[in-house]
Amino acid sequence: MNTFGTQFRVSIFGESHGECVGITIDGCPAGIPVNPEDFTADFNRRRSGGKGTTPRREPDQPKIMTGVFNNYTTGAPLTIMFDNTDTRSRDYTKLRETPRPGHADFTAWKKFGGFEDYRGGGHFSGRLTLGLVAAGVIARKIIAPMQVSSDILEVGGKKSIEEAIDEAVEKRDSIGGIIGCTVTGVPVGLGEPFFNSVESLLAHMMFAIPAIKGVEFGSGFAAARMWGSEHNDMFISTEGTTATNHAGGINGGITNGNDIKFRVAVKPTSSIHGKQHSINLVTGQMVDLEIEGRHDTCIALRVPVIVEAATAIVLADLMMLEGLTGRIKN
């Protein structure tokens, strides 16, 4: 439900306009140094306020509630929480009866019988990805020397981010984007065939990030148009190094020692400033809907660090499953 992982298990909690959001990590090895400033760089990359992002500004100060003593993890569950302070719940009143097209408003209302917290998207909000980024900071310490990086490849179908944002703002609309992710220093042998393949687990985590609608590894869908002789990656060393990397660093669900490479597609933000049409859940009538509040024109701008964190979480779990990291971090 709200938990992912086998050995390195993360459980997400909170709502966008509730008291707080956060994450609990169970199975975190003891002896990992943790200081509040460790989170700053990644939190700043996720932070809103820049062009094309929501003007909602939260301090995002991590409160480490359990699992750390004298600046080291103890081996007990590690809980990190963040207060929600910059909320404007009144902006969402009309959404109680009229769900946003493309958003979880309707499915949440149906699934939870109207008891869901609809303010700011509630438990479905991208606000909760802050906990994932926090867990990613810890996971990166576990998977070192593996390094995870990502880049914005395009937004709104354009290479120029500024041009795409300006066009979306002018149209009172939103745009999506494509993010590329690379993991270097990957050992051979992480993952299993079939259900616990590296692709399966990474895709599982990517789709846990709100707005992610597609994932492809290596050559991805382009592989369907290639010859086998073209797609096959020739091994050129006994360490698994290949001349090309169409497989994205994974064969048979298992890492082959090359860089893991994949891309994710981020859909346009559901909340737009232009007029839309939806159904009133009380009257059953179609109505005009103009959404108030503060929303991202392009949520993809803030997604790269979340993708990196989610990737590190998966790899930390796989490292622990292989016995490459014990209960005490050396």
Rounded average pLDDT over 267-289: 93
Q: Using CA atoms, how far apart are residues 307 and 260, in angstroms rounded to an integer? A: 13
pLDDT higher than threshold 80 for residue 154? yes
Three-class SS of residue 273? Answer: coil
pLDDT higher than threshold 90 for residue 6? yes
* Category of 239 on φ-ψ map: left (φ > 0), alpha (ψ -120 to 50) or beta: alpha
Nearest to 89 by CA among 117, 58, 113: 117
Cα dist from 322 to 147, 187, 189, 191, 311, whole Å: 18, 11, 8, 9, 17
Encode pLDDT of 71-80 as tens digits.
999 999 999 9
pLDDT of residue 134: 98
Encode pLDDT of 93-138 as tens digits.
888 899 999 999 999 999 999 999 999 899 999 999 999 999 999 9
Query: Is the pTM higher than 0.75?
Result: yes
pLDDT higher than threshold 80 for residue 329? no
pLDDT of residue 41: 96
What is the 3-class SS of the chain, one letter each residue?
Answer: CCEECCCCEEEEEECCCCCEEEEEEECCCECCECCHHHHHHHHHHHCCCCCCCCCCCCCCCCEEEECEECCEECCCCEEEEEECCCCCHHHHHHHHCCCCCCCCHHHHHHHCCCCCCCHHHHHHCHHHHHHHHHHHHHHHHHHCCCEEEEEEEEECCECCHHHHHHHHHHCCCCCCEEEEEEEECCCECCCCCHHHCHHHHHHHHHCCCCCEEEEEECCHHHHHHCCHHHHCCCECCCCCCECCCCCCCEECCEEECCCEEEEEEECCCCCCCCCEEEECCCCCCEEEECCCCCCCCCHHHHCHHHHHHHHHHHHHHHHHHCCCCCCECC
Nearest to 46 by CA among 63, 58, 34: 58
pLDDT of residue 31: 97
More confident site: 265 or 91: 265
Bridge-partner residues for 82, per DSSP?
21
Nearest to 134 by CA among 76, 82, 180: 82
More confident site: 292 or 172: 172
Three-class SS of residue 90? Answer: helix
Token pair, residue 86, equals 């910059």
Looking at the chain, the whole-number percentage of residues with pLDDT higher than 70 is: 100
Angle of helix 304-321 relative to helix 129-143, nearest 10 degrees? 50
pLDDT higher than threshold 80 for residue 326? yes
Domains of the chain by start residue, with CATH: 3-321 (3.60.150.10)
- Looking at residue 109, its amino acid is W
pLDDT of residue 51: 81
CA atoms within 13 A on the CB side of 84: 24
Three-class SS of residue 240? Answer: coil
First to last CA, the chain: 32
pLDDT higher than threshold 80 for residue 293? no
